[in-house]
Amino acid sequence: MIGYIIRRILGLVIVILLASMITFFLMHAIPGGPFDELKMPLPAEVKAQILKKYGLDKPIWEQYLRYIWRALHGDFGVPFQSPTETVLSLIARVWPVTLQIGAITILLSFTIGILLGILSALRQNTWIDYLVTTLATLGTTVPNFVIAVWLMLIFSVTLRWLPTGGWGEPKHLILPVLAYFLAPTAVIARFVKVNFLEELRKDYVRTARAKGLPERTVIFKHVFRNALVPIITLLGPMIPDLATGSVFIEVTFRVPGLGKFFYTSAFNRDYPMIVAMILLIAVLWGITYLITDIVYALIDPRITFT
C-alpha cells in the first residue's frame, strides 16, 4: 500500500512536469508576445529593458528551468495583466469567488442529486423518474452556457427577477449556481438510482423484508448505506472540476473568478498566469484521483493494490 502510494506520487510528479513543459513551450511558441509592437509601441531600448526584466531575452529552455526553480520556491512570477501583484496573490484574490460558487454547487447537487436518485429508484416509471431521466440527459449533453442563456431568458428577461450578471451580492450567485449544478446533479441522480436499484435486488434486502422489517428500516438502514458508498468515486473528480470553475459560466454571467481569468489570460497571452493556472488544475486533478483511489480502497477491502 505505501509502495503503491509512493509510486503514484512519483507518477504524478512526472505528469505535472510534462504538463508544465508542454504548456510552457507551447505558450512561448505562439507567434506574438505580450509586448508586441501593435499592443505596446515602445522604443527598442525600452522594449529590451522590459524583455530583460521578465527574462524573456533568454533561450526558452533556460527560461523554463528558471521558472521551475522559482516555482519550487513558491514564486510563479508577475502577471502581465496586473504587474503590481504576483501570480499567487492574483490567484488567491480571484479563487475564493470560484470556490464560493463551487462549494454551493457541490452541496446542492449532492443533496438534491441523492434525493432525486433515491426517489426515482423507489418510484420507478413515475413522473419523477422521467423527470430525472430528462434532466440527466439535458444536464450531461447540453453545454452549460446554453443552459445559462435559457436561465437568463427565463429569470432575467421574462420574469425580471434576477440580474443577468455581475458579482458582489447574494442574488448574483443564484443563476451561475443554477446553470452549473444541473449537470453534476443529473450525474449523481442517475448514479444513485442505478446503485439503489442494484442494491434493492440483493439477497440481504429480501432477507430483511422476509423477517418483517418495516420498509422504511430496510431502505434507510440497509440499502441506503450500501448504495451510497460508490458515490465517493463521483465526488472525487467533481471537486477539482467545480473548484476550478467553468470558464463558460463565469464569462456568461460576468463572474470575476478563476475561469474568467483563465479566459482573459489566454486572450492576453499572459504566460505566467496561464502556466500557473494549468499547473494548479493539473495538480488538483492528480491529487484528487490519488486520494479517491486510496479512500476507495480503505472503504472497500476487496480492492487491493499491486
Partner 1 sequence: MRDVIRVYKKNKLAVFGFFVITIIVILAIFADVVSPYKYDEIDLISFLQPPSFKHPFGTDSIGRDLMTRIIYGARTSLIVGFSVQIIAVGIGVPLGLLAGFYGGKVDYWISRLVEVMTAFPGLLFAIFLMVWLGNGLINIIIALGVTSWVGICRVTRAKTLEIKGETFVEAVEALGASNSYILFKTILPNIIRPIIVMVGLGIPQAIFGEASLSFLGFGISDPMPSWGKMIQESLGYLQGYWYMGFFPTLSLAITVLCFNFVADGLRDALDPRMYGRRA
Site for partner 1, rule CB under 8 A: 11, 14-16, 18-19, 22-23, 26-27, 29-30, 137-138, 140-143, 145-146, 149-150, 152-153, 156-158, 164, 194, 241, 244, 247-248, 251-252, 262-263, 266-267, 269, 274, 278, 281-282, 285-286
Nearer to partner 1 by Cβ, of 218 and 255: the residue is 255
Query: 98: closest CA among 266, 300, 278, 251?
Result: 251
Q: Which is nearer to partner 1, 127 or 267 (CB)?
A: 267
Taking the complex as a whole, how short is the minimal distance between the CB of residue 155 and partner 1, in angstroms? 11
> How near is the Cβ of 220 to partner 1 at its closest, in Å?
26
Shortest separation between residue 288's beta carbon and partner 1, angstroms: 11
Torsion of CA 185, 190, 192, 198, to 10 degrees: 180
Closest distance of CB 118 from partner 1, Å:
19
CB-based contacts of 165: which residues, under 8 Å, 6+ apart? 172, 252, 253, 254, 255
Q: Is 62 helix (H, G, I), strand (E, B) or coil?
A: helix
Q: In the complex, what is the shortest distance from the CB of residue 287 to partner 1, in angstroms, rounded to a whole number?
A: 11
Query: 277, 27 in Cβ contact below 8 A?
Result: no
Helices (H), the chain: 2-29, 44-53, 60-72, 87-122, 127-141, 144-151, 171-200, 203-210, 215-217, 224-228, 231-244, 247-252, 258-267, 271-299
Nearer to partner 1, 187 or 208 (CB): 187
Among residues 140 and 207, whose Cβ is nearest to partner 1? 140
Q: Whose Cβ is closer to partner 1: residue 12's or residue 104's?
A: 12
Grid coordinates in use for 239?
Answer: 471537486
